[in-house]
Amino acid sequence: MRKRLMMLLACAFSVFAMAVAQDAVPQVIPALQSWKGKKGKLEMPQQGRVVVDTEATAELKDAASILVSDLAEMFGYNYELVQGKPSKNDIYIKLDSKDSEYGDECYRLTIDKQVKIVAPTVKGAFWGTRTLLQMLYNQPEGLQKGETLDYPEYRDRGFMLDVGRKFFTMDYLEKTVKVLAFYKMNLFQVHLNDNAFVEDFNNDWKQTYSAFRLESESFPGLTALDGSYTKAEFRDFQKMAMRYGVMVVPEIDVPAHSLAFTQFDPRLAADKKEYGMDHLDLYKKEVYQFLDTLFAEYISGDDPVFVGPYVNIGTDEYDLNEGEQFRKFSNYYIDYISKFGKRPRIWGSLNMMKGETQVDLTKCDVNAWNYGWMGADTVLKQGGTAISLCDQHLYIVPGIHTYYHDFLDAKWLYETWKPNQMNQGNEWDKDNPDFLGVMFALWNDHAKNGISQQDAHYRTMPALQVVSERLWRGNNSGSVPYAQFEALCKSTPEAPGVNMLGRVKGTVNVTEQGKVIDLTGNDSIATKVPAVGYPYKVEFEIYADKDKQPKGGILFQDQYSKFITNWGGMGKFAFERDGYVNIFHAYSLPAETWVKVRIEGDHESTSLYVNDKLVERLDIIESDVYNKRWDRVDPFWYYQTLVFPLQQIGDKHLGFKGQLRNVVCQGQE
């Protein structure tokens, strides 16, 4: 009797476990809208086929080829791209309008004898491939069989990056597109010009940092010298983004935030000096002639530099005394951009910029960034289309501690935030077709503060993951607690082939233990660890030759940074990245002596240990600046951080001379 009871209990438990397994939802970011589980798993072979439906080969070929490359990059799979009908273990991609009622980004992913991705559009099919890649990563023992019908809660899901006050390389922008796409974010606004705060530069507009990042043949000398994009590479970048389902929205910010233009031609500056030199003069014909020519350079012709349908023209934070003329200026450039077949986008300012002139918001889309200046609900009431970029919740300013966010509050965004609300009490209908969606932003208000591209990305990544989740799936906190979601965020890759965070799990021997590496000063060695990110430890033993060392001899490097020896000919360790040099002044490396060195880094500091003793910590440097406009003292923070470069040891032209052994790194646990 007891034996039979145990067998019955075992059978009951088996049925229960099977039911739980079938109903378990695959863990991906953003979460699936639905999942219907089935019994069993599908193990994908190392070699296989991505099959594109014959009737849609031309449309789907690009998305399918990206999937083939990503499967190789992430898993080492060797898949062939073919057209036709699917067989067992194939990945099959097809266009079908059956689910089009769920929008043009929906897709149906079925896992059974093979993987099927069916969608009404190419973009929907591409999102299905992103989900498949995450499933494969999170289910290494085989894909759980089942089906999802998946679609986004909001149409526009985006990120805005200020490249005007800090330069980001084209490589960085392209990698950001891949990250956005991996998390089904479909908009990337690139803020191409801006200027720093004048108080950070001795209250002198002539000294204040500004930049315009795009090549201009109409105005030679306008483009920033410390980093810019050619028209050809910016055009190609936008086309590349479209292949990944991401629309780039280029922005030229006028008539405020325009110091790059007035430094180039002081005649363009407002005659009323109290407005600030970063204000264009709204009354001068020279300003309109300049901007007409500048915009036309990028939006005219058969193959314009600004490829997509949208162009953001700025229109925010001008002096409040000029509300009437500001409105006329806004109307002029909304109409001017429209004549070239582009849809203008503007920053919402009209609540504060008061006047009699009516601005027709039906002719443009509004970035509603601040409720006081112009909330999204106000835009909708006036018949306009709105994208919310609520500054209170969605603005990152790296390295700042007194306003907005150094890091977004991911837990609050996941559990509490409402995308269709800017301030308490002004919630609007999220299904209003004129409410396009939401973006978050990274602003580099305080130029020259030591923040690196990788520091910016370290702040962007967790924000991107949680905003992606909320804009696609909606509020899923009742099903998946924040701690579980956060753990999934930390374990999910940035994107295929992208690791700008420098994630390294545990301890890794970068070089063979005990093996001495001889470096002659003109040789280099590639490693299998490109970089290690925060928090980390990198340890090595080093022996400097007695021969004259090059000043600034490179010991480690990658595409972002260099770790050098003998800085200034004084034997100091230092590191360079993003145009900054940070030096460990408290120690000089002796010649002909083996020394054990350890570098520890996090997002606030970089520390040097020699023979297991802390020698120096390069920490945040806080200083004060006098704010003349408001007659007050403001803080300024400078960062001395390093995502440690390990991609290459030495350098073929300016390398360290000596010996190295036992290079070990320890990354995130």
pLDDT at 423: 83
Instruction: Give the chain's mean pLDDT.
Output: 94
Are 419 and 377 in contact by the 8 Å Cβ rule? The answer is no
Q: What percentage of the chain has pLDDT greater than the value 90?
A: 94
pLDDT grade, residue 669 (50/70/90)? Answer: low
Mean pLDDT of 165-181: 98
Span 215-228, pLDDT tens digits: 999 999 999 999 99
Decide which of 637 and 11 is more confident.
637
Fold held by 507-666: Jelly Rolls (2.60.120)
Are 266 and 185 in contact by the 8 Å Cβ rule? The answer is no
pTM for this prediction: 0.95
- What is the CATH superfamily name and number for domain 156-491? Glycosidases (3.20.20.80)
Span 92-104, pLDDT tens digits: 999 999 999 999 9
Give the other-Cβ count within 10 Å of 14's Cβ: 10
One fold for both 2-150 and 507-666? no
Q: Is the dihedral of CA 457, 642, 501, 557 positive or negative?
A: positive
Residue 164 scores a pLDDT above 60: yes
pLDDT grade, residue 5 (50/70/90)? Answer: very low
Element (H, E) at 137: helix 122-138
Query: Strands 395-396 and 435-442, how do they pair?
Result: parallel
Cβ contacts of residue 481 below 8 Å, gap of 6+? none
Span 520-556, pLDDT tens digits: 999 999 999 999 999 999 999 999 998 888 999 999 9
pLDDT at 474: 96
Residue 156 scores a pLDDT above 90: yes
Residue 22 scores a pLDDT above 90: no
Mean pLDDT of 2-16: 37
pLDDT at 4: 38
Are 137 and 129 in contact by the 8 Å Cβ rule? The answer is no
| Share in percent of the chain as helix, strand, coil (round to 5) | 30, 30, 40
DSSP assignment of 447-493, as one string? Answer: TTS---HHHHHHHHHHHHHHHHHHHHT---TTTS-HHHHHHHHHHS-
Residue 10 scores a pLDDT above 90: no
Residue 436, phi then psi, degrees to nearest 5: -80, -30
3-state secondary structure of 413: helix
Span 252-297, pLDDT tens digits: 999 999 999 999 999 999 999 999 999 999 999 999 999 999 999 9
Decide which of 548 and 309 is more confident.
309
Cα gap 534→502, rounded to integer Å: 8
CATH class of 2-150: alpha beta
Would you list the domain boundaries of the chain?
A: 2-150, 156-491, 507-666
Span 555-566, pLDDT tens digits: 999 999 999 999
pLDDT at 547: 80
pLDDT at 426: 82
Determine the angle formed by the axes of helices 453-472 and 170-182, rounding to 10 degrees.
20
Span 594-617, pLDDT tens digits: 999 999 999 999 999 999 999 999
Mean pLDDT of 161-188: 98
